[in-house]
Amino acid sequence: MAAPHLKIAEENAPDLEALLLAQKKACLADPYPSHAKRIERLDKLHNALLDNRARIIAAISQDFSNRAPAETELAEIMTLLDGIGYYRKRLKKLMKPQNRHVPLTVMPASVQVQYQPLGVIGIVVPWNFPIFLALSPLVGALAAGNRAMLKSSEFAPATGDLLKEIIASLYDEDEVTVVTGGVEVATAFTALPFDHLVFTGSTQVGRIVMKAAAENLTPVTLELGGKSPAIVHDDFPMEEAAARIAFGKCFNAGQICVAPDYVLCPRGKVEAFASAYAAIVAKRYPELRDNKDYTAIITERQKARLEAVLLDAKEKGAEIRPINPKSEDLSGTRKMPMTMVLGASDDMLVLQDEIFGPILPIVPYDTLDEAIAYVNGRDRPLALYYFDWNKDRAGEMTKRTHSGGVCINDTVSHVGADDIPFGGIGPSGMGHYHGKEGFLNFSKAKGVVRKGKIDAASFVAPPWDNFMFRSLKTIQGLRFRRRKIKPAK
Ligand code: NAD
């Protein structure tokens, strides 16, 4: 039975149940949208991204008080256009039923897997990439033939309003719709009996969302966070590692689910890494206050949280090294300098909670085994970054650690590789989207057996002591003559 509808006290609260009902009805009327229909839906989105490029950049920047326009172009628009292009090219093949093996006991028949749209997908969106993380799951959902309801983040209200306007201009409300609102709306939204729910946000709220979905037995894809390590091998040049780590860490001022959270650095190289990191960050962001390239923190509350993390580390004895090349006074802004933390210990917040901002602890290690044990001793992260030219060691690293995804000699770029699945593991999430796995995630892989005019079952049917059943047993006996399989030596 569906969970009772939750009343929302928020002003102008949307009638979520009515929206879902309308979408479910529309699904029944068109349960299997054609390839052409799905492409048409994707094309509309593609064109809207091009038409609204400047407005998207402006809205996100308004929400952040400053978001580097290039970051929005790269991470919210270009990646989406790539993702849409991926499905435009491959959708026919993905939709095609697959013929599968027909066992003797089922013969004669055809055996297939058919990929059916699930129905209505709920998508809960965080604030950090408020367009990409709304539309990227939507692209997968539409490619698989679904309809969708999106809930935008209350902490990116200008973008939420723009998204709502764009989507309303492209699709009927019973096709795709966006709802805005705070936690109350989000709570009622996640209590709806969707056919699938995608939640992108914190691990803490992910737990609440999964409980709410369980009431309806709604399957979930949870895209959560965590502490993604960057491990630098002793042989790897520290300037190179610093430059590559800085790109992923400074992007969106560290407010990325897959940002390198901390660096595991060979003990004797910590100082070399720290000075290379300070130099490259200062070169890329020579000033902070009026620098459009340097993104601000989303809210005062988040900024205060990050400052408290630094204070906690400082009070417990860590060394705090901000990278503020012109020593600017940033008060009155929501900008925070990228800050390295040296000498951090496990009792400090900086090594406990996901950082999600411009703070980088550098943790020394003595042996690679010790670094691996450090990672394996903690929650499974969303991403792991390993810096080593040696391919064998890199291969070992991916086998000996668990994480949602991996980049070797890079950070964050796996999110943009549209042909590989994206998703966490354990506390960093479950399920995948992007690429083929995204299509599968939003489809029911339905097993279908089709029999023809010959009804083989009638030949073997009881009474069981009949010739056909005895023959079947003989044939099976001949095929599997060595009934027990000997273990391989
Ligand atoms: P959040 O968990 O606070 O909020 C995410 C969404 O959940 C918002 O839309 C919010 O309205 C809604 N929400 C809040 N309380 C809720 C409740 N009780 N029930 C149902 N919904 C509720 O996360 P955030 O602060 O917006 O984003 C930051 C977090 O998201 C970080 O932990 C980050 O790592 C994670 N994240 C993960 C990915 C990923 O792809 N894995 C991407 C971006 C961000």
160 and 87 co-located in one domain: yes
pLDDT at 326: 97
pLDDT at 2: 47
Active site residue 223: yes
189 and 239 co-located in one domain: no
Domain extent at residue 195: 16-224+434-444
Q: What share of the chain in percent tops pLDDT 70?
A: 97
Please answer whether residues 431 and 224 qualify as being in contact, where contact means their C-beta atoms are separated by less than 8 angstroms: no
326 and 215 co-located in one domain: no
Dihedral sign from CA coordinates of 157, 163, 168, 172: negative
pTM: predicted TM-score of the whole model, two decimal places: 0.94
256-282 pLDDT, tens digit each? 999 999 999 999 999 999 999 999 999
194 and 239 co-located in one domain: no
Mean pLDDT for the chain? 95
270 and 131 co-located in one domain: no
In a domain, 483, yes or no: no
Q: Which atom of ligand 1 lies nearest, measured to the CA of 206?
A: 2
Phi, psi of 288 (to 5 degrees): -120, -50
220 and 251 co-located in one domain: no
Write down which residue in 393, 423, 453 finishes a domain.
423
pLDDT at 486: 74
Q: Using alpha carbons, list the distances in angstroms from residue 394 to 37, 385, 389, 409, 473.
A: 44, 10, 8, 9, 50
Q: What's the CATH number where 116 sits?
A: 3.40.605.10
pLDDT at 301: 97
Please answer whether residues 345 and 363 qualify as being in contact, where contact means their C-beta atoms are separated by less than 8 angstroms: no
The finding on whether 122 has its CB within 6 A of some atom of ligand 1 is no
Domain count, the chain: 2
pLDDT at 1: 41
* d(C-alpha 254, C-alpha 242), whole Å: 15
Active site residue 184: no
State yes or no: cis peptide before 193, omega within 30 of 0. Answer: no
Q: Which of 27, 76, 175, 257 is catalytic?
A: 257
The finding on whether 338 has its CB within 6 A of some atom of ligand 1 is no
487 pLDDT above the threshold of 90: no
Vertex 370, ends 264 and 408: CA angle to 5°? 50
Q: Which of 223, 265, 354, 407 is catalytic?
A: 223
What is the arithmetic mean of pLDDT over 188-208? 97
DSSP character for 379? P
Question: Which amino acid makes up residue 324?
Answer: N
Convert 2-41 to b/e letters by CB count within 10 Å (16 or more is b): ebeebebeeeebbebeebbebbbebbeeeeebeeeebbeb
* d(C-alpha 345, C-alpha 262), whole Å: 12
Q: How far is the CA of 424 from the centre of ligand 1 (A)?
A: 14
* d(C-alpha 113, C-alpha 460), whole Å: 26
Residue nearest to atom 40 of ligand 1 (CA): 223
Residues in the chain: 489
4 pLDDT above the threshold of 60: no
Question: Given pLDDT bands bounded at 50, 70 and 90, which one contains residue 89?
Answer: very high
Q: Token pair of 358, please?
A: 């411009």
215 and 255 co-located in one domain: no
What is the arithmetic mean of pLDDT over 4-9? 63
The distance of Cα 118 from the centroid of its chain, to the nearest Å, equals: 19
Q: How far is the CA of 150 from the centre of ligand 1 (A)?
A: 13
